[in-house]
Structure 1
């Protein structure tokens, strides 16, 4: 289950879960592509990984843009010699009741989470099939891939959709050595979640402390946030798992919030 000599591309890797995932994959021996809309921050992450003895380079990528995805992955393969692991992690959050969402917001959420997953998967699969070495495709889902929550209609819809995509990729890719999985975090205290705390407090008419205690963490077994390290280590485990035993499965890492 070694990642030595592997090449991994992580979308949304300039911050948060994506950044830590890239760092852990690099520490375990993979050459990592830091793909993000924020090229300057992606370059900083790549430089820091390199300074610590890892191998990484940054690429600008809007995952909703077909040409940007295709060229970014082609450039990565040309620079690093292949692609063995794709971590489709890029995402955003908009919090409001269903009746207040605009169609543009709905489409934006689905485009980033689902169109981005499709476009990066399609580009990665073409190389993985051609190389004959197979690979691992890992989608960043959520407990909301299995659960619903107020104020998150497009997010929950998109995260449910990733389960279906992963299952199809697992069925189609399995005979050709490509595995597909979904990692489903609970609440991780990233900037994305920090932004939600006051938004949910306002929408629900409760304090920010109550949002944390009674909304985000109320069903965990220990009242603890999931950490970026928790998620990065699950991704690394799946990326290095070298047979089809777990393909098509989702793994929930939520401190017991959701149990399958």
Structure 2
């Protein structure tokens, strides 16, 4: 098993992509803290993925709360003795034209995506540096590479994660820490399901046309990326055996964006 004996924190792990990453990591031998702002969902997910409770830990966590992040990370290290992998996956989406975007919504989205990545990274690095090893993985997006209408703060945040990852890769190298970004296309999670009627309303399209003519228009297969596609990429980064790929990103999008 590729992650045997490793310990991971996955944020936003009670559903969607985060839950699947947790499942795959457990399959490959890791112990996983199921971090999520929804405490009940985190507990339910941990129990479902590991009924024995021996290799999971529900971790209620608001990633924008500095004290909660630091305390939660310390609790994971106290429980499992180490921390090898951080997957910063927690995120939200708010769709609106720039001229109608409230400043409060702008700040909220940037806080969850960027402040959350910073705070969880800082907490994780303190332990990883002590161990002289670790892997930090950010959940970016195709929107880390290009823009779409109605998503100004999301695109801004996802671009920002590339910059943060490159700094972590450079600073972390001397301490045995790698950092990477996964950039999925549209994955049919609750976050994306919510966008379909919102974009239909803003763009004056049917929901079917939003899927076919907006979300999947530029893919080579007309297919959504799956949570398993993304989780297997996270496993690839987490289990990679050297620093050869540190600072790099991978686009997982059925050809929507190629580089």
The alignment's TM-score, normalised by the length of structure 1, stands at: 0.98
- Aligned-pair CA distance for 1:174: 1.1
- Aligned-pair CA distance for 1:56: 0.7
- Asked if 1:128 is matched to 2:128, the reply is yes
1:242 is aligned to 241
- C-alpha distance in structure 2 between counterparts of 1:55 and 1:254, whole Å: 31
1:206 is aligned to 205
Q: Is the 8 A contact 2:46 2:53 kept in 1?
A: no
- Aligned-pair CA distance for 1:53: 8.5
- C-alpha distance in structure 1 between counterparts of 2:52 and 2:198, whole Å: 37
For structure 1, the residue ranges without an aligned partner over 5 or more in a row are none
- C-alpha distance in structure 2 between counterparts of 1:29 and 1:147, whole Å: 36
The within-5 A match list for 1:10-89 is: 10-51=10-51, 55-89=55-89
The within-5 A match list for 1:83-232 is: 83-132=83-132, 134-232=133-231
How many equivalent pairs are there? Answer: 259
- Aligned-pair CA distance for 1:51: 2.5
Q: Deviations over 1:10-48 (max 9, x none)?
A: 000000100111011011100000000111111111111
Q: Is the 8 A contact 1:26 1:54 kept in 2?
A: no
Q: CA RMSD in A?
A: 1.1
The alignment's TM-score, normalised by the length of structure 2, stands at: 0.98
Q: Deviations over 1:166-218 (max 9, x none)?
A: 00000010121100000000000000000000000000001101000000000
Query: Which ranges of 4 or more aligned residues in structure 1 deviate by more than 3 Å?
Result: none
- Aligned-pair CA distance for 1:54: 6.9
The 10-residue stretch of structure 1 (207-216 or 47-56) with the greater mean CA deviation from structure 2: 47-56
Q: Is the 8 A contact 1:109 1:154 kept in 2?
A: yes
- Aligned-pair CA distance for 1:55: 1.5
- Aligned-pair CA distance for 1:242: 1.9
Q: Is the 8 A contact 1:139 1:162 kept in 2?
A: yes
Say if 1:251 and 1:54 are closer, same or farther in 2 by CA, change over 3 A. farther
SS of structure 1 residue aligned to 2:143? helix
- C-alpha distance in structure 1 between counterparts of 2:151 and 2:11, whole Å: 22
Q: Is the 8 A contact 2:11 2:35 kept in 1?
A: yes
- Aligned-pair CA distance for 1:142: 0.2
Q: Deviations over 1:88-125 (max 9, x none)?
A: 00000000100111111000000000000000000000
Q: Deviations over 1:219-259 (max 9, x none)?
A: 00000000000000000110000210000000000000000
- C-alpha distance in structure 2 between counterparts of 1:81 and 1:54, whole Å: 13
1:254 is aligned to 253
For structure 2, the residue ranges without an aligned partner over 5 or more in a row are none
- C-alpha distance in structure 2 between counterparts of 1:256 and 1:50, whole Å: 34
SS of structure 2 residue aligned to 1:220? coil
